[in-house]
Structure 1
Amino acid sequence: MSANWFDHAIATVAPRTAARRVLARQAFETLTRGYDGAAKGRRTDGWRAPGTSADTEVGVAGALLRDRMRDLVRNNPHAAKAVAVLVNNIVGAGIMPRAASGNDKLDRKVDALFARWSDAADADGQLDFYGLQTLICREMVEAGEVLVRRRLRRSSDGLPVPLQLQVLEADFLDATKSGALGAGRLVQGIEFDPVGKRRAYWLHAEHPGDAYGALQNGLQSRPVPASEIAHIYEKQRTQARGVPWGAPVIRSLRDLDDYEVAELVRKKTEACVTAIVFGDDEAQQGIAPSVVDADGNRVEQFEPGLIAYARGGKDIRFNQPSATGGYGEYKRASLHTISAGFRVPYELLTGDLSQVNYSSIRAGLVEFRRQIDAVQWQLFIPMFCAPVWRWFTEAAWAAGQIPTPDVPVEWSPPKFEAVDPQKDAMANLLSIRSGTMTLAEVIARQGRNPDAVLAEIAATNAKLDALGLVLDSDPRRVTKTGSAQTSDPANDSADDDPAADPESDPADDSDTDPARPDTDQQD
């Protein structure tokens, strides 16, 4: 960019200042040209992109987003299915803990105690620990956040461990509590100390939307120590509270609802074949004919099969409704957008598998399952499961049931169902034989406790040995020890059974080789 007249005027008295102005202007123009998204002009008119903080944005829109998302989940089948798909994959039958202190006796004792406590973990007395996981995960996805409060009980209550969990919806947080508080601050009901650590949650005594609670001064709030609360939500920025996972497509879901209503009305209109008899009544010449029913009331809407008579009718005419298409294409495109907004595959959202084959659906699930792994290990387990385990061991230790409050734990998320179990089993077998995975890890990936499974296997083998039976390499047959084995050339060849022959190489079998690219061994 060349210098303008003003730069020339400055240059006559201050050449260096004019030169710096020209260079600065050139640098600014270069910067703005570097990003098309930052350009300003006719194409970006009306594009509002405020530089507000995440807490400010959530504070303004969070409650309305939560209410609208809940309404959609109640009334829109696609929103309800998206939430269900995410919950079923994140939690499934439950993320199971197992003590991992290294002391087998202590681990077995803690695991047995947790199994008994999980049945009575719900403060409402309806769900077990794994049912609470489903409820909490659902609230996290649908409403964006959920609170779990530790409720310590008396030893006289008869619980295996004097502890229960109370699930609170995000509405219990008093969002009006914001601003400075001494050396700390309040952000939408969450109190932070001077170094930014959560100190307390300001909770309503009753749900603000409950009529009975409002009458009982339920709109008042009081602080609850942060050590008593587990706050579960997805942090997309450094915000203090979460938003519904379907927030990017709330408008798309609403638009699809409106479109389907309009389409239904249009189809009903197209189905209305009506006949109108026109005449030349002199009293009505020069004006539109008045169509009335048998009672003399004016007819102002059409119904299927309607025959309307104009006064003095001598001619009959039929309407010609024309059918229009495009409904299926528009709905499919809209559902692709909605599935992307919820971060679930289109096929899982709709159940429509007409556009995929075996290999493509397996490949499409890889990224989704990687996302679910991240949610489980980076969000749900550290925000909910880990605090609950800490509360459990502390309560059990305080009650004198275990010798230490610090018991390490390992978590086993639910397994992913295999599209082709045989190929997945072969992949696991190769991983164990190559030393890249242990048997315990493979069992844990199935959502089960390795110690319990191995103990069950040992007990089964001991029982078979006591009966003089041996479990054949073919799991379909159990035979007497030392008895002759019946050979089946089709299925029982030792050369074809990698489990029976440790020296065999399963990779030689091209039909079941997990290393072949077209087998998609990662499910």
Structure 2
Amino acid sequence: MNWIDRTVGYLSPVAGMRRQAARKMLERTAPRARPGRRFMGKDRDFDTVSSNPNDGRPKRYVDRMTILRLIAENPFARKALNALLNSLIGWGITGAPTGPKVMRDHWAAWINACDYYNRHDLYGLQKLWAISMLRDGEVFIVQRLIKAPGIIPLRLQTYDKGMLAADKYGLNIERGIEYDDEGRAVAYHFYRGRKGYRWSSTETIRFPAEEVIHLFDSEWVGQTEGVSLFEPIVKRLGDVEEGIEAEVVKANIAACLVGFRYRPPAQEGEDPNIGIPVDEAQERAPIEEFVPGMIETLEDGEQITFSNPPKTGGINDLARIALLASAAGVGVTYEQMTGDLSNVNFSSYKAGALENKRFIGRLQYLTFIPICLNRVFGWFARTGWESGYLSKPAYPVKWTPPPFESIDREGDAMADILEMEAGLESRANLLNARGYDHDPMMEEIATARDLLNRLKLAFRGDPMVPGAASNSANGDANASDPNRMMMMAIARRLMSPR
């Protein structure tokens, strides 16, 4: 409210109320205005480049409920979300901290008890966080403390975008996020209960920024709000739904075969119903129907004509183009979004999956792990140190995402062997790419080897069988192994250009 509005309201309250009502109506109908858009206590035109980085990015705002309805009702959107989720999280991004055994034991126990609502373990929470980040654009993880015997008291409470007090505005507060004078978040405001539930209320709770992880994928400098990954494809998938519905209606109309009986006008003194069966008991209109095997004798001059329903088809190409654009918009392949493998072969499918793997790797190593998982482990270590469970407030940790399943396991394995022998790759990197941690894997292999030696057992494919250590000293044993020579020949054939 500017000084003119305040003056008018003071002199004439009724006129002031009318001015405010008219201003609100103008804000709702103006194409370039966004009601309630404030930053640092000042109103900003959305299309004006200002100190708020969000104002410098032209953007079509899509209502959150539209995205939720799209994911819930559209099978292609749901399939795309599942494909992204399976690649990004899978069965969970596992963390392997480096430190004393007591710390690793506390970490293993805390993983199963980290949920504030006692419903999920850490990997189940990762799934919820990833779904909210991909669907809503952002998710909030709050640090809470709950004492439990023998377990580090840190708990993780999850708030989605709908729980953020977005209507809470004020000085340096925008959509429930409180900023300092330099635009850095200092606190977050959430509703105590979700709107629409019996226990919902307008009461809010404030958390300092150091106790909140605001997880979203940044797309421009200074971004403070996450953008749904499905926002660019809402219209495209809506067009596909409308096209399929129109095609179904068209097919139903085409199935309605209608016959028309033509009779010449009755002459004077003739009965007009001659030759037409009538249900005399009900005194209804003449009964006209087609039944299989029916033979009908027509009167002189009568004719039967049929309708010409429209032919169906023609939507396949349009739907494919729309789904190709939708798959590109969310970062998956057409085959992942639709399950249609009719237009690909082995090579094209494998090559098409490479770009999706790079996209997923970028989300994992540039967003999900550094912004979310590293901070979660930092909270765990500091809380354990402050509560007396751990001896240090920080430990190194290594996160390992689940591997991508190989389409050609034999060819990929032989290529890995050749690269290791040529010094182009290390065993640790290959194991990490498959979702395994190198040191625990080597310990597991050593334990299995000792067990086999003790039991005097040997199986084909064992990394080291009894007696192999003495043979390897000759230097020629491995080279003369016929199995190894055959495997190397196969690998060279697979790696050779065609």
Q: Which residue of 2 aligns with 1:25?
A: none
Classify the secondary structure of the residue corresponding to 2:199: helix
Q: Which residue of 1 aligns with 2:257?
A: 273
Give the deviation of 1:234 after TM superposition: 1.5
Give the deviation of 1:328 after TM superposition: 1.7
Task: Sort the Cα spacing of 1:60 and 1:423 in 2 relative to 1 into closer, same or farther, 3 A.
Answer: closer
Task: Sort the Cα spacing of 1:159 and 1:335 in 2 relative to 1 into closer, same or farther, 3 A.
Answer: farther
8 Å Cα contact 1:145-1:233 kept in structure 2: yes
8 Å Cα contact 2:178-2:187 kept in structure 1: yes
**Residue 511 (structure 1) aligned with residue 490 (structure 2):** no
Structure 2 counterpart of 1:370, one-letter code: R
- With 84-93 and 219-228 compared, the bigger mean Cα shift is at 219-228
Of the three residues 130, 137, 147, the one matched with 2:130 is: 137
Rounded to whole Å, the distance in 2 between the matches of 1:110 and 1:412 is: 19
Q: Which residue of 2 aligns with 1:91?
A: 89
Q: Which residue of 1 aligns with 2:295?
A: none
8 Å Cα contact 1:66-1:144 kept in structure 2: no
Give the deviation of 1:219 after TM superposition: 2.3
**Residue 324 (structure 1) aligned with residue 322 (structure 2):** no
**Residue 459 (structure 1) aligned with residue 447 (structure 2):** yes
Structure 2 counterpart of 1:173, one-letter code: L
Structure 1 counterpart of 2:493, one-letter code: D
Rounded to whole Å, the distance in 2 between the matches of 1:258 and 1:402 is: 59
Task: Sort the Cα spacing of 1:191 and 1:207 in 2 relative to 1 into closer, same or farther, 3 A.
Answer: same
Rounded to whole Å, the distance in 1 between the matches of 2:214 and 2:497 is: 43
Q: Which residue of 2 aligns with 1:204?
A: 191
Q: Which residue of 1 aligns with 2:63?
A: 65
CA distances 1:258-316 after superposition (whole Å, capped 9, x unpaired): 1111110000100111123345679xxxxxxxxxx988999xxxx998xxxxxxx9553
Task: Sort the Cα spacing of 1:219 and 1:77 in 2 relative to 1 into closer, same or farther, 3 A.
Answer: same
Gaps of 5+ in 2: 1-45, 267-277, 292-300, 472-478
Percent sequence identity over matched residues? Answer: 30
Counterparts of residues 74-223 of structure 1 (less than 5 Å): 74-100=72-98, 106-154=99-147, 157-158=148-149, 160-179=151-170, 181=171, 185-208=172-195, 210-214=196-200, 218-223=201-206
**Residue 256 (structure 1) aligned with residue 244 (structure 2):** no
Structure 2 counterpart of 1:397, one-letter code: W
Classify the secondary structure of the residue corresponding to 2:389: coil
Task: Sort the Cα spacing of 1:481 and 1:250 in 2 relative to 1 into closer, same or farther, 3 A.
Answer: closer
Would you say how many aligned residue pairs link Structure 1 and Structure 2?
Answer: 422
Aligned CA-pair RMSD: 3.5
TM-score by length of 1: 0.73
8 Å Cα contact 1:273-1:304 kept in structure 2: no
8 Å Cα contact 2:449-2:465 kept in structure 1: no
Task: Sort the Cα spacing of 1:430 and 1:65 in 2 relative to 1 into closer, same or farther, 3 A.
Answer: farther
Task: Sort the Cα spacing of 1:510 and 1:60 in 2 relative to 1 into closer, same or farther, 3 A.
Answer: closer
Rounded to whole Å, the distance in 2 between the matches of 1:162 and 1:252 is: 47
Q: Which residue of 2 aligns with 1:225?
A: 208
Counterparts of residues 410-449 of structure 1 (less than 5 Å): 410-449=398-437
Of the three residues 358, 362, 372, the one matched with 2:360 is: 372
Rounded to whole Å, the distance in 2 between the matches of 1:51 and 1:422 is: 57
Rounded to whole Å, the distance in 2 between the matches of 1:57 and 1:223 is: 29
Give the deviation of 1:223 after TM superposition: 2.0
Structure 2 counterpart of 1:150, one-letter code: Q
Rounded to whole Å, the distance in 2 between the matches of 1:447 and 1:134 is: 17
Give the deviation of 1:331 after TM superposition: 1.6
Classify the secondary structure of the residue corresponding to 2:113: coil
Give the deviation of 1:470 after TM superposition: 4.6
8 Å Cα contact 1:470-1:480 kept in structure 2: no
Classify the secondary structure of the residue corresponding to 1:203: strand
Structure 2 counterpart of 1:250, one-letter code: V
8 Å Cα contact 1:468-1:481 kept in structure 2: no
Counterparts of residues 332-371 of structure 1 (less than 5 Å): 332-371=320-359
Give the deviation of 1:178 after TM superposition: 3.5
Rounded to whole Å, the distance in 2 between the matches of 1:189 and 1:127 is: 27
Classify the secondary structure of the residue corresponding to 1:497: helix
Task: Sort the Cα spacing of 1:203 and 1:59 in 2 relative to 1 into closer, same or farther, 3 A.
Answer: farther
Give the deviation of 1:108 after TM superposition: 3.7
Give the deviation of 1:432 after TM superposition: 2.8
Give the deviation of 1:510 after TM superposition: 3.1
Give the deviation of 1:479 after TM superposition: 7.2
Give the deviation of 1:445 after TM superposition: 1.8
Q: Which residue of 2 aligns with 1:246?
A: 230
- With 443-452 and 410-419 compared, the bigger mean Cα shift is at 443-452
8 Å Cα contact 1:233-1:242 kept in structure 2: yes
Structure 2 counterpart of 1:212, one-letter code: R
Rounded to whole Å, the distance in 2 between the matches of 1:269 and 1:395 is: 67
Give the deviation of 1:475 after TM superposition: 4.0
Gaps of 5+ in 1: 1-48, 101-105, 283-292, 306-312, 485-491, 501-505, 519-523
Rounded to whole Å, the distance in 2 between the matches of 1:377 and 1:449 is: 16
Give the deviation of 1:496 after TM superposition: 4.9
